[in-house]
Amino acid sequence: MNTAFEPTVTFAAASDQQDGLAGFKSRFHFPQHAGKDAIYFCGNSLGLQARSVAGAIEQELEDWRALAVEGYFRARNPWLYYHANFNETLSGMMGCSPDEVTVMNTLTVNLHLILQSFYRPTKERYRIVMEAGAFPSDQYALETLVRLHGLDPDDALVEISPREGEKLLRTEDILDVIARQGGSLALVLMGGINYYTGQFYDMPAITAAAQRQGAFAGWDLAHVAGNIPVRLHDWNVDFAVWCSYKYLNGGPGAAGGLFVHERHGSDPAFPRLGGWWGNDEKTRFKMEKGFVPKPGAAGWQISTAQVFNMVALKASLELFREAGIDALRAKSLRLTAYLEFLLGHASLPCEIITPADPLQRGAQLSLYFPKDGKAIHARMMENGIICDYREPGVIRLAPAPLYCSYADVLRFHDVLKSFA
């Protein structure tokens, strides 16, 4: 327990006053409860709307009204290159070059597309290692993928479960499963952070283990993007996908992100499904046969940029660029630690199943209630604290550092104590 923390209004207020990022809270819209801003700990499901979004959307509407098709070239943010607006900020978050990242489609669509490149099973090498209890969309994507190749999911999908009586995966167990697959292993695909437990996996070690067996290593970073800075290029990750509506605050259904390591993206012969927007811009408007991919992750683009599905993300990433992902991570570590400290003062029959090691988690603590979890969650919501409940028995709390405060965390503690 951190003795530097105190469960007092004075301490929380002083911490917020000293927080250099505290001002960003006022730049978001919050749901209302009893005439006041609700406390929002659900950014791991859907981030809040930045106050700048309405003006950003109006700008694109104005350019559409005034310019029509000429907006592709003459809009304030030309639509022809709209997806490139995100590369610099995202590359800083994801630890890669701007050419290795792009924004397009949505998460599971991108996963299906990129798997056409990185899952090419043979008779000998066809298995995929994944975590048991992965987010359902990933489970469905991989199940249907192997069936599409005429394979049996019970054979082709190797799921890693925690040891009996444990809720977290041990890195050594993951590495052992990968090693035992040997030459049958085609791909390792895991979530960077497990959505249920909040466990942040050892991405460099797992990536290296997969590649030692001659397999590709891919990651679903839905709960990592905008939460924990990563080093995808240096960790030699083959590919990664993520959504933009959680910590990145891109809005419901926002366009997703894609990373492809430069050793693949710089190879025009690397297999992929092509489309007009992924074709080299120098030849795109010649309207000729013969797909010539753009270099980098953009060579996996399929269709015209979804401008109105990217506007809110653009507005949010401007705030991320201003705040800085490293500063946000530093605040997140302390804010989540304060939440953990306060939970030690609440005498409720629950267990924090997120790793105690701050480096193995992001801005989330998952509380497991053997009973009454739903009822406690309902009472939280009735008290203006928005968090979510996941079966079986887990309340997930995500104090996102861009718009959550120490006072918010203390208020949660005080309400929780009142249930005891």
Q: Kindly state whether residues 247 and 145 are assigned to the same domain.
A: yes
Q: Kindly state whether residues 84 and 166 are assigned to the same domain.
A: yes
Is the pTM higher than 0.85? The answer reads yes
Tell me how many domains the chain contains: 2
What digits encode the pLDDT tens for the residues 206-249? 999 999 999 999 999 999 999 999 999 999 999 999 999 999 99
Q: Kindly state whether residues 237 and 346 are assigned to the same domain.
A: no
Q: Kindly state whether residues 109 and 257 are assigned to the same domain.
A: yes
Integer CA distances (angstroms), 178 to 2, 57, 236, 397, in order: 37, 46, 17, 32
**Which tokens sit at 403?**
């718009």
> Among 301, 319, 337, which residue terminates a domain?
319
Q: Kindly state whether residues 335 and 412 are assigned to the same domain.
A: yes
Contacts of 10 (CB under 8 A, 6+ apart): none
> Among 259, 291, 319, which residue terminates a domain?
319
Q: Kindly state whether residues 271 and 293 are assigned to the same domain.
A: yes
Q: Kindly state whether residues 207 and 289 are assigned to the same domain.
A: yes
Residues spanned by the domain of 261? 58-319
Integer CA distances (angstroms), 279 to 79, 297, 312, 400, in order: 16, 12, 26, 38
Residue 100 lies in a domain: yes
Angle at 415 between CA 411 and CA 420, to 5 degrees: 145
**Which tokens sit at 242?**
């993520």
Bridge partners of residue 351, in order along the sequence:
368
Q: Kindly state whether residues 256 and 402 are assigned to the same domain.
A: no
| CATH number (domain holding residue 97) | 3.40.640.10
Residue 191 lies in a domain: yes
Q: Kindly state whether residues 248 and 267 are assigned to the same domain.
A: yes
Contacts of 137 (CB under 8 A, 6+ apart): 107, 108, 111
**pLDDT given at position 420:** 64
Q: Kindly state whether residues 360 and 289 are assigned to the same domain.
A: no
Q: Kindly state whether residues 269 and 197 are assigned to the same domain.
A: yes
Residue 400 lies in a domain: yes
Burial class, 71, CB count within 10 angstroms (exposed 0-12 / middle 13-18 / buried 19+): buried
- Scored b (16 or more CB within 10 A) or e, 98-118 reads bbbbbbbbbbbebbbbbbebb
Residue 383 lies in a domain: yes
Name the percent of the chain in helix, strand, coil, to the closest 5.
45, 15, 40
Question: If DSSP states are collapsed to H, E and C, what string results for 1-51?
Answer: CCCCCCCCHHHHHHHHHHCCCHHHHHHECCCEECCEECEECECCCCCCCEC
Residue 1 lies in a domain: no
Q: Is the dihedral of CA 22, 26, 30, 36 positive or negative?
A: positive
Backbone phi, then psi, for 412, in 5-degree steps? -60, -45
**pLDDT given at position 350:** 85
Residue 329 lies in a domain: yes
Backbone phi, then psi, for 247, in 5-degree steps? -65, -20
Give the integer Cα–Cα distance in Å for 70 and 329. Answer: 41
Residue 167 lies in a domain: yes
Give the integer Cα–Cα distance in Å for 330 and 317. Answer: 18
Q: Could you say which DSSP state residue 167 is in?
A: S
| CATH number (domain holding residue 387) | 3.90.1150.10
Q: Residue 146 is which amino acid?
A: V
Give the integer Cα–Cα distance in Å for 21 and 17. Answer: 10
Residue 2 lies in a domain: no
In the predicted model, residues of the chain with pLDDT beneath 50 are 1
Ramachandran category for residue 214: left, alpha or beta (phi over 0 → left; psi -120 to 50 → alpha): left
Q: Where are the alpha helices (DSSP H) in 68-100?
A: 71-74, 87-94
> Among 319, 339, 363, which residue terminates a domain?
319
Q: Kindly state whether residues 83 and 157 are assigned to the same domain.
A: yes
